[in-house]
A and B are shown apart, each in its own frame.
Chain A
């Protein structure tokens, strides 16, 4: 047993230590890139890649690293990446790329599989590269921005997207490997984070702005940040964020509930040739802020707030699902995938006109909000 454990440890260590691209390449001989924007040149139809690179030429020790943009054109992605060498001494190094921004037009017009193939196939790129859709005129514009307190905007965007689920729940983090998995799974469509630029204190900075919805590998539309939160509830990926609701159940929203954890159960029912899907969401929250003058020591008041929050959730989720079904007709929730995994025979039967089934089937949503904590104040 010990021997086996030792052997396993040895294999893991060797695999970890001997992996990677394997040739001598000094650090002075490479241009470290951190992000890439993918556009298409309107005149020539060539791919237009803009690499954000780490500019080490300035007084780096005093001022920190600076970002620069390196533009290049090519028939394919790899062609474009190699063409960059025409403009710089050192080959671009893709091992530390953390963000790929797709131009809206590119996402709309070409299948995501074809644009992402290079990033999946290339040995240097990481499988955890974050992919986002730009809502700007060109994707390049995004990489020309400066992050808040961070010169490399690509890292800034990557970190915003990756952390989002735990703090605001307004977008989704789908790295390259997940994109691949989603594309080649049945009954689920791709979603990617959407990014735009916004004015901020006199300058312009980037902001994530909900989710881009794909259908058959092509961009079809967006979900707003608010809708994105409901989408994440349906997917069971919410780990934080805020639910606002009215304490009394009517009138203006005056209470904020901080999500501690949430749990989503999804199931389907096949009865008499009719498919229905159930989504049950359970959220444990802290009451973090309320402007309503209510006595929180009163259980009935708490119950009232819980009911109000649950009602808000149910309505939000239902509206969001309805909009996706009618406007985009894209099963981004993976309901089909759920059926495919749990009842393959049924899926075989349904999959040919799944689009119709998906749009018309009843979706039952139940939400339960549980306030466990009202912080330090008893009353307002």
Chain B
């Protein structure tokens, strides 16, 4: 029985492998010819039914050589191709020998030229705005970088607006994004390793890190996991995130993401690693500690007093949004002694005429809020007013007046809803944990609440991000470990990098602190 299943599995795996192999079969083992027309035919065959694929035949003025230029229409900078490729070719007089070498080194005015006979590389290049040049008599082609397609401007990211500090955000072009990083770090220490993901999309991705700071074992672990990625398309970094994170089933994220280059560089300087993918404005950063959920890039541009306050506020907000519904139900249904008498009579008055039990009412109201929120996120901007009127008036006021919902419940939902927007990075866990605690609280009161909260805490304590514990409860509150967590100390106090960095001394004149810090 068992063997049967195993062999069936094996067979299925083989079928998948075969299928996947067929996708790229056409390109493997194909050779270019020395005859120009043959090469043109090969390319036209590969790009059959691709009407944007253009072939342009040229002949040098002295009639010595024939060329074929190939590109995808709209992907290249026409003017540039005209000036730097077409006109030099027309006037080229090629000496004896390999024409491609001569053209690449002496005639063509293009910065990036690659001589290749690899059809796969050629196809990828042409698809991505390169211009391909075949010369009659050569079995090698020249692939020239002539990208000229439109990209979105570098603008402030919508999801991470700040009041102060750098306003740049990534766009969908990998190279632009890399320049945004490179501009901030004028050093060869910033390493950028390119790789390709996606069997079909062949998407470029880049792994960035600071050579002296990164923890080598984390880097090796990341490489190992990326090597194992096998997917046909990568349209956004989150495709990768789900494939490489430590706990695939956990609600809590163990990989960070941001659209801001200043945040990425900040993380790199703390010894973290960033992954950027072409076509996505979101960069991933690893390892990702739990406390990063409550940090914002902006914290470092404000006064540390304000930033520390804001961080504590976010942490409090997280606890409130997760625990308030459960707390409310516990108090209303189990522990009436906890309420001051005045409040109890007020709440009893409110609850007196309401049909649903409190727990069910809470679930319904929270779901209604989630519905409103999701609708708000998905709807076109110009119908927003209608939604807010329906949400505020109908569901809020009218429901209370019609005695369908108790007023304290509306207050509770409002508090839960507002605080949940404080920590957008935790939006998924918040929803589930909130309902989990609400359920337990409606069964067992405070006891259930305490039990559920402990379970969540234990789960988070067990999470790892690339081998690093995301949350530690060692009781070690020594100063250097809390410098940049729930508070943000001023820079002159943050002499050490966080524990994940290989080189912990942040400030030169305090280099000896490294040993002190390591000893703790």
Contacts and interface: CB of A to CB of B under 8 A. Distances in A.
B351 A28 contact: yes
Contacts of B341: 34, 96, 98, 155
Nearest to B445: A22
Contacts of B477: 2
A56 B344 CA distance: 12
A18 B348 contact: no
Interface string A8-46: 000000100111111111111010101000000000000
A21 B331 CA distance: 11
A95 B352 contact: no
A56 B442 CA distance: 25
Given A54-B348, A56-B352, A23 B337 contact: no
B23 to A, nearest CB: 57
Given A17-B450, A27-B351, A54 B345 contact: yes
Contact of B349 (A6, A22, A61, A126): A61
B357 A2 contact: no
A345 interface: no
B358 interface: yes
Interface in B2-44: none
A26 B351 contact: yes
Nearest to A14: B450
A28 B345 contact: no
Interface residues of B, number: 28
Most buried by B among A14, A61, A96, A124: A96
B336 A95 contact: yes
Contacts of B347: 27
A20 B445 CA distance: 10
Given A60-B349, A95-B337, A27 B332 contact: yes
Interface string B452-481: 000000000000000000000001010000
A96 B445 CA distance: 19
Nearest to A155: B341
A286 B336 CA distance: 44
A259 to B, nearest CB: 30
A24 B344 CA distance: 16
A37 to B, nearest CB: 18
Task: Give the interface size bracket for A toward B.
Answer: 20 to 34
A93 interface: yes
B128 interface: no
B333 interface: yes
Given A65-B345, A155-B341, A24 B351 contact: no
A3 interface: yes
A364 B477 CA distance: 59
Contacts of A22: 334, 444-445, 447
Contacts of A96: 336-337, 341, 344
B334 A20 contact: yes
A158 to B, nearest CB: 10
Contact of A25 (B336, B354, B450): B336
Chain B interface secondary structure, helix, strand, loop or mixed?
A: helix
A25 B348 CA distance: 12
B333 A25 contact: yes
B450 A56 contact: no
Given A2-B477, A17-B446, A18-B447, A27 B337 contact: no
Nearest to B330: A17
Nearest to B339: A96
Contact of A32 (B334, B344, B442, B443): B344
Interface in B319-342: 332-338, 341
B447 A26 contact: no
A60 B342 CA distance: 13
Contact of A3 (B446, B447, B475): B475
B324 to A, nearest CB: 14
B352 A27 contact: yes
Contact of A23 (B334, B348, B442, B446): B334
B449 interface: yes
Contacts of B345: 32, 54, 56, 65
Contacts of B443: 24
Contacts of A155: 341
Contact of B335 (A20, A28, A98): A20
B249 to A, nearest CB: 28
B352 to A, nearest CB: 5
B60 to A, nearest CB: 82
A17 B442 CA distance: 15
Nearest to A61: B349
A2 B475 CA distance: 7
A35 to B, nearest CB: 11
Most buried by A among B344, B347, B443, B444: B344
B437 to A, nearest CB: 13
A124 B341 CA distance: 14
Interface in A344-376: none
A56 B475 contact: no
B473 to A, nearest CB: 9
Given A17-B449, A98-B341, A24 B334 contact: yes
A300 to B, nearest CB: 52
B515 to A, nearest CB: 24
A95 B336 CA distance: 7
A127 B69 CA distance: 94
Given A2-B475, A2-B477, A18-B450, A27 B334 contact: no
Contact of B348 (A2, A27, A98, A126): A27
A26 B358 contact: yes
Nearest to A126: B337
A98 B337 CA distance: 12
A22 B336 CA distance: 10
21 contacts: A3-B475, A6-B475, A17-B449, A18-B446, A19-B335, A19-B446, A20-B337, A21-B335, A21-B337, A22-B334, A24-B442, A24-B443, A26-B333, A27-B358, A30-B336, A30-B348, A54-B348, A56-B345, A93-B336, A95-B337, A124-B337
Interface of A: 2-3, 6, 14, 17-28, 30, 32, 34, 54, 56, 60-61, 65, 93, 95-96, 98, 124, 126, 155
Given A24-B334, A32-B348, 14 more contacts: A17-B449, A19-B335, A19-B446, A20-B338, A26-B333, A26-B358, A27-B336, A27-B347, A27-B348, A56-B352, A60-B349, A65-B345, A93-B336, A95-B337
Of all A-B residue pairs in the complex, the 6 with the closest CB atoms, nearest first, are A27-B351, A17-B446, A60-B349, A20-B335, A27-B348, A95-B337
